[in-house]
Every structure is written in structure tokens, then in C-alpha cells.
Amino acid sequence: MNDRYPSPAEIFIQKASEDERTLGLEGVPETVSGFHAQQAVEKLIKALLLELKVPFDLTHDLTRLQKLLEAAGEKLPSTPLSLGDLNDFAVFYRYELSDEYELPVRGDLLDTVRIIREHVIARIAVLTRTSSE
């Protein structure tokens, strides 16, 4: 049995994974999938910020969080959807009728989350290895 309690960054990554798993479920409305994609990316960015020891406000604004990463010298990879596109799922699409808008396709949501996840996990592995040397 592992007695080590996960770090705050590891908890955020685990919670992001829970959001990401909903993206593959059948029958989930696109706005709900988009919301969980936004939430997954938000938690992943916050995990990296935690590992970098960069303080952040309680916000859902991915663009704002990305600017904090950039100020710390981190650059996120290109993704099919911009973080601004995902921001719309945090609030706007949650309270508006989505049939009036063209929503991103689910594959782009999945790919965006996957690319951010892979990048964040790789960066945290490097940061953790560097700090323990």
C-alpha cells in the first residue's frame, strides 16, 4: 500500500482525468463535453502552475492562466482549439442555447485535452526530476 499522499499537482491531474473521461461517453451533449474539456484543461494548467509554484486566482479563464504560465517561462503547445474557444464552455455555453452557435467537434475537444495533458505531465516530470537532483 502506498502511504504517500498525492501532491496538489497530482490531485489536479487526477481530477482532470475524471473530466477527460466524460469526453468519450456516448450521448453526452456537446456543451457538456465542452464544459468538461474546459475543466480538464483548466486543472492541467493549474497543476503545472502549482508545480512551478506560481500563485493563481480561482478563475476559469484559461487565457489568464496561460499568461501566468508564459510569465513563468512556460509555453503550451498548439492545439486544435484555442484556449479562448474552450473558455466559452466554462460559462457562455452553459447558460445559452447552443443550437444557435457552431460548436467545435468532439474530436477537436479530445485532441486539445490530450495534447495539453501530455505536455503538462511531461513538463511536471522534468520539473520534479530537476528539483530532486
pLDDT for residue 44 is more than 90:
yes
| % of the chain beyond a pLDDT of 90 | 65
Mean pLDDT of the chain: 89
> Cell numbers of 9, please?
499537482
pLDDT score for 116: 98
Q: What is the pTM of this model?
A: 0.90
Q: What is the pLDDT of residues 28-37, one digit of tens each?
A: 888 889 999 9
Domains of the chain: 8-132 (1.20.120.330)
pLDDT score for 65: 97
Look at 13-17, 69-73, 82-86, 89-93 and tell me which has the smallest mean pLDDT: 89-93
pLDDT for residue 81 is more than 80:
yes
pLDDT score for 104: 80
Q: Which of 132, 90, 110, 89 minimizes the C-alpha distance to 24? A: 110
Q: Are 22 and 33 in contact (CB under 8 A)?
A: yes
